[in-house]
Amino acid sequence: MSNKKIMVSGIQPSNNLTLGNYLGALKPFVDLQKKYKMFVFIADLHAITNEFNRAMLLKNKKNIACLYCACGLDIKKTIIFNQSDVCSHNDLSHVLLCHTTLGELKRMTQFKTKALTKNDNNTSFIRTGLLTYPILMAADILLYDTDVVIVGADQKQHLELTRNLAIRMNNKYGKMFNIPQPFILKNASRIMDLVDAKIKMSKSNKNQNGVIYLLDDKQTIIKKIMTAKTDSFNKIRYDKKNQLEISNLLEIYASLTDKNINDIVKKYRNKNYKLFKEDLANIVVEKLDIIQKKFKKISKDFDKKIEPILKKNAEYCTAIVKRKTKLVYKKIGLTK
C-alpha cells in the first residue's frame, strides 16, 4: 500500500469547463498528482441539483472526462471515475443529512446567492438538491479517508461544513472519519469574471463575454481578453483593492505561466494595458490550443480507452468505500 496522503475532489459536468475551473482546481490536481494518491471524480450527482437536460448531461460527462486527461491528469495514476457509479456516495450522504440542521444548510453562501436572491426569500420553489448538495459533497470527501481537498475559494465553506460533520460524528459515535484539510491556492483560487470582476468566473454568469471556456476557439479567447474590463490608471499593478480587474488578469497570467506576479509586474512596468492583454491572450490561446488538440484526440478514443477505465475505477472505489459505509452503519447502530 502506498503511504501517500489522499486527495479527493470533483468538478460538476454542468457545462464545459471554464478557465476558473482549470486554474483553481484542475491545474493543481495535475501539478500535485505525483504527491498525493488522487481520486478525481466527475460530480454528476451534483450536476442534477441544477436545471439539466439528459443529452447535455451525458455529453458534458464525456467531455469532462476527456478534459481531465487532456489537461494532464494521468489516467494510470489518478483514479478518475463517475460519482454516480459509486453508490456509497448516496448512502453516506443520507446518514450525514440526518445529522445536519436546516440552519447550517441555509447559511451556505452558494445556496443563498443561487437560490434565495432569485426568489425573494420564498423557498417553496427551490429544488431541495440545491440546499442539500453540500452534504453530498461531505460524503464524497469523508468516504475516502481524505487528507486533502483541492478546491477553489468558493468551496471553502462547504469544506468547513464537511469538517464539522466529521468531528460531530466522531464525537458522538467514536472515530469513523478522517478530518480533511482544504487546499486552496494563494493565487487563482478565485478567478474573476472578465467583464465584472466583482463576481467569480462561472458557467452560470449571465454575460458570457467575461467567461473563458477551455474549448473556446482562438478568436473568441482573443476577443474576450482584449475586451476585458480594466481601469483608467493604465498602470499594471497587483492591487486587488484598487485595481481588481488588472490584478485578476495578472493572476491568470501568473498561474498559466507558473511565474511570480511581482516579476510579471516588473516586466510590464512601463507598458500599457493593450500590450499586456495581447501577451496574455497569446498565452491563453497557446495553452488552450495544446489542451484542445489533446482533447480532440482523446475524445475519439473515449469509448475504447477512457470509458472502460472509468468503469474499472468505479469498481475499485466501490470496494474501498463500502468498508467505510459498513463501519458507519455499525457505529451508529444500523447494523450489529
Q: Measured from the CB atom, is 59 or 271 closer to ligand TYM? A: 59
- By CB under 6 A, residue 225 contacts ligand TYM: no
Q: Measured from the CB atom, is 235 or 244 closer to ligand TYM? A: 244
Exactly one of 27, 200, 224, 287 is catalytic; which is it? 200
Least distance to ligand TYM, CB of residue 232, Å:
25
- By CB under 6 A, residue 43 contacts ligand TYM: yes
Exactly one of 203, 218, 229, 294 is catalytic; which is it? 203
Least distance to ligand TYM, CB of residue 140, Å:
4
Q: Measured from the CB atom, is 209 or 235 closer to ligand TYM? A: 209
Q: Measured from the CB atom, is 32 or 267 closer to ligand TYM? A: 32
- By CB under 6 A, residue 44 contacts ligand TYM: no
Count of residues binding ligand TYM (CB under 6 A)?
A: 26
- By CB under 6 A, residue 149 contacts ligand TYM: yes
* Binders of ligand TYM in range 177-196 (CB under 6 A): 189-191
Q: Measured from the CB atom, is 138 or 328 closer to ligand TYM? A: 138
Q: Does residue 61 carry a catalytic annotation?
A: no
Q: Which run of H or E residues covers position 37?
A: strand 37-42
Q: Does residue 203 carry a catalytic annotation?
A: yes
Q: Does residue 34 carry a catalytic annotation?
A: no
Query: Which residue in the set 15, 82, 93, 155 belongs to the binding site for ligand TYM (CB under 6 A)?
Result: 155
Using CB atoms within 10 Å of the CB of residue 283, give its burial: 0 to 12 exposed, 13 to 18 middle, 19+ buried. Answer: middle
Other C-beta atoms lying within 10 Å of the C-beta of residue 319? 10
Interface residues toward ligand TYM, by CB under 6 A? 8-12, 20-21, 23-25, 43, 46, 137, 140-141, 149, 151-152, 154-155, 189-191, 200-202
Active site residues: 114, 200, 203
